């Protein structure tokens, strides 16, 4: 091994510090403001002036933020289930079958992700209005389904393709039908991929803002992102409450994301080669 | 299909029409739910928005089910509006250009740095970067608004402590440059992790022998980066560039949630916000649709130019 010179080590340590501070400081600032008893007068104090859960109390109890959390959870879970099922079928089709227009379908799935959501908000809003789907959780789930589907298909395709074909053939030799093979061989092996994809669909639905803002006008049906805006008045904000609510929104996403990132990598490499 | 007789596969006998159908059907059956969903929710609305952009469409048209085609009047109005040329377009394009350049730069530098670290430190730093990536755009924007709060935010506090500024004496949000500067910090913060992680993954696949060969040939660190890293990584750089351009052109949430960004301050509008406020705020759905079509067309042109110049056939 090469022995790094002291100057190089200091430089590396400095670099690590810069990366860590840059990546984590805004997140730290959110957490520390959320528990600061004098949040609104924080200024440049690196440490909070104390520790309090008052802001969380204000958000969860007085402002009934849990209601928004419930709406968002329902919408996100609906999106996860629907997009997981539909994307898995489509992924099997593109990963396991060779058919005409296969590459056209794949390219289309990539291209639709470029469509700006702002362009879709107007027609989908008008459509939902005429179908009386505004303020409906189902309406929001359907819209999010479309946004999470392309990535889910693309992602799952890799997991399905990684399952050795021999395993499928072995199932057929044992007399299994296609459906039986799908249930007992493919599904369990693709499960890690399905988990990772589901988390991404969940995050897509949980984080979305424009459609939530446009579709949900009834304050009892606000998802978290729109509900967060209730802590702002025209010129002032209750920063302690805003950051506490932001923590409630961001924390599950961050935890999920960091967990799944590992899962994603292990799922891709672990495969089922031992068969 | 080709008319020349195929040499590779000896054709046993022509399968019957029904048999061929039975073989071709399963993938399409599996694809059907996905294709129908995407068609109804993405493709059809795109057609609808193009159609709407040719109409005068307000709330009353919706309620009465009327159609009033005015063909290109919406476009004419937009394209002759100074607001587009002096404010909205520079905000959109200039902002995207700065953000893409900064995101790529920060992402690449971080990836190159992480690639030199030992495994435990690399995992620690990558996890920290994941946190930055995972913070939702929505809450991330509020964090940056709070950091830059002129009254008691972190930045105002630091500047006051340094004696450069008295808190509460400035309002950054009213200044177009300051507004977009802060928005750029937010967007770069949110965007660099993807670039860094993707490029890092690519860097780790570049064969070490290439670097050793270059070192033997006397190439310095910079020369090795320019002559080994960049050419082998070109497809990955290209994809990162395309994706971050697309993302940065259509930023909406990060602008809309900043003070004045929701259309109340017209000097900081971008195409996305303009389209949205025309439609949802003023009920000019036709006008909003026309702006949305312009945004989509702009994105399309840029994507095609990128794809043609950056990606070669065999990269995909």
Determine, for residues A242 and B146 on separate chains, whether the beta-carbon distance falls below 8 Å.
Answer: yes
Interface test with A, best of B34, B48, B50, B103 (most A CBs within 10 A): B34
Which residues of chain B are within 8 Å of residue A23 when distances are taken between CB atoms? 125, 128-129, 131-132, 193
**For the segment B27-72, what is each residue's pLDDT rounded down to a tens digit?**
899 999 999 999 998 889 999 999 999 988 887 887 777 788 888 8
At A67 the three-state DSSP class reads helix
Closest CA to A190 of A78, A76, A85, A82: A85
Determine, for residues A210 and B27 on separate chains, whether the beta-carbon distance falls below 8 Å.
Answer: no
CB–CB of B102/B195 below 8 Å?
Answer: no
CA distance B291 to A223: 27
Higher pLDDT, B20 or A1: B20
Interface check for A24 against chain B (CB to CB < 8 A): the answer is yes
Query: What is the arithmetic mean of pLDDT over A209-233?
Result: 88
**CA neighbours within 13 Å on the CB side: how many for B249?**
24
CB–CB of A200/B136 below 8 Å?
Answer: no
ipTM: 0.85
Most confident of A45-54, B65-74, B81-90, B238-247: B81-90
Interface check for A225 against chain B (CB to CB < 8 A): the answer is yes
The topology (CATH level 3) of A54-270 is MetI-like fold (1.10.3720)
Of B27, B40, B143, the CB nearest to A26: B143
Higher pLDDT, A3 or B232: B232
CA B159 to mean position of chain CA atoms: 33
Query: What is the arithmetic mean of pLDDT over B186-214?
Result: 89
Which residues of chain A are within 8 Å of residue B48 when distances are taken between CB atoms? 123, 126-127
Cβ atoms < 10 Å from Cβ of A32: 18
The structure tokens listed for B310 are 């950056």
Determine, for residues B49 and A122 on separate chains, whether the beta-carbon distance falls below 8 Å.
Answer: yes
Closest CA to B259 of B172, B191, B157, B184: B172
CATH match for B90-273+287-315 among 3.40.50.720, 3.50.30.50, 1.10.3720.10, 3.90.76.10: 1.10.3720.10
Angstroms from A275 CA to nearest CA on chain B: 26
Which residues of chain B are within 8 Å of residue A42 when distances are taken between CB atoms? 152-154, 157
**For the segment A111-158, what is each residue's pLDDT rounded down to a tens digit?**
777 777 878 999 999 889 888 889 999 999 999 998 899 889 988 888
Backbone angles phi, psi at A83, to 5 degrees: -75, -30
Cβ atoms < 10 Å from Cβ of B117: 17
CB–CB of A137/A71 below 8 Å?
Answer: yes
Interface check for A19 against chain B (CB to CB < 8 A): the answer is yes
Which residues of chain A are within 8 Å of residue B306 when distances are taken between CB atoms? none
CA distance A83 to B294: 30
Domain boundaries, chain A: 54-270
């Amino acid at each position: 091994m090469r022995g790094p010179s002291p100057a190089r080590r200091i430089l590396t340590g400095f670099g690590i510090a810069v990366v860590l501070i840059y990546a984590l400081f805004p997140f730290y600032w959110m957490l520390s403001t959320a528990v600061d008893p004098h949040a609104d007068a924080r200024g440049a104090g690196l440490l909070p002036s104390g520790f309090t859960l008052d802001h969380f109390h204000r958000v969860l109890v007085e402002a009934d933020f849990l209601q928004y959390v419930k709406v968002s959870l329902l919408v996100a879970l609906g999106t996860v289930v629907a997009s997981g099922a539909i994307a898995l079928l489509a992924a099997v089709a593109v990963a396991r079958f060779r058919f005409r227009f296969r590459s056209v379908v794949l390219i289309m799935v990539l291209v639709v992700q470029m469509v700006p959501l702002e362009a879709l908000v107007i027609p989908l809003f008008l459509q939902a209005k005429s179908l009386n789907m505004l303020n409906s959780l189902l309406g929001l789930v359907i819209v999010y389904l479309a946004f999470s589907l392309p990535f889910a298909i693309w992602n799952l395709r890799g997991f399905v393709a990684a399952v050795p074909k021999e395993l499928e053939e072995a199932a057929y030799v044992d007399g299994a039908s296609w459906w039986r093979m799908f249930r007992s061989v493919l599904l369990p092996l693709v499960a890690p991929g399905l988990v990772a994809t589901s988390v991404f669909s969940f995050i897509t639905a949980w984080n979305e803002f424009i459609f939530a803002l446009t579709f949900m006008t009834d304050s009892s049906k606000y998802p978290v992102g729109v509900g967060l805006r209730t802590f702002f008045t025209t010129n002032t904000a209750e920063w302690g409450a805003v950051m506490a609510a932001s923590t409630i929104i961001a924390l599950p996403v961050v935890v999920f994301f960091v967990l799944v990132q590992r899962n994603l990598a292990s799922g891709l490499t672990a495969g089922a080669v031992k068969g | 299909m080709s008319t020349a007789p195929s040499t590779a596969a000896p054709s046993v006998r022509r399968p019957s029409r029904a048999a061929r159908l039975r073989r071709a059907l399963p993938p399409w059956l599996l694809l059907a739910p996905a294709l129908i969903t995407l068609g109804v929710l993405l493709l059809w609305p795109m057609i609808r928005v193009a159609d709407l952009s040719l109409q005068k469409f307000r709330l009353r048209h919706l309620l009465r089910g009327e159609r009033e085609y005015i063909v290109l009047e919406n476009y004419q109005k937009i394209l002759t509006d100074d607001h587009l040329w002096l404010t909205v377009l520079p905000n959109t394009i200039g902002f995207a250009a700065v953000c893409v350049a900064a995101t790529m730069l920060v992402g690449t530098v971080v990836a190159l740095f992480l690639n030199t670290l030992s495994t435990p430190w690399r995992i620690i730093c990558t996890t920290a970067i994941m946190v930055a990536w995972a913070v939702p755009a929505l809450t991330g924007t509020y964090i940056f608004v709070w950091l830059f709060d002129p009254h008691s935010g972190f930045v105002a506090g630091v500047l006051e402590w340094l004696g450069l500024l008295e808190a509460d004496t400035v309002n950054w949000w009213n200044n177009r440059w300051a507004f977009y500067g802060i928005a750029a910090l937010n967007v770069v913060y949110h965007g660099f992790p993807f670039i860094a992680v993707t490029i890092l993954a690519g860097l780790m696949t570049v064969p070490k022998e290439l670097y050793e060969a270059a070192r033997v040939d006397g190439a310095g660190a910079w020369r090795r980066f320019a002559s080994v890293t960049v050419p082998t990584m070109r497809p990955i750089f290209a994809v990162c560039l395309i994706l971050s351009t697309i993302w940065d052109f259509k930023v909406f949430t990060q602008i809309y949630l900043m003070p004045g960004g929701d259309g109340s301050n017209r000097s900081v509008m971008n195409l996305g916000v303009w389209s949205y406020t025309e439609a949802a705020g003023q009920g000019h759905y036709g006008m909003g649709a026309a702006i949305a079509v312009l945004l989509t067309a702009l994105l399309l042109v840029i994507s095609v130019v990128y794809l043609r110049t950056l990606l070669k056939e065999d990269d995909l």
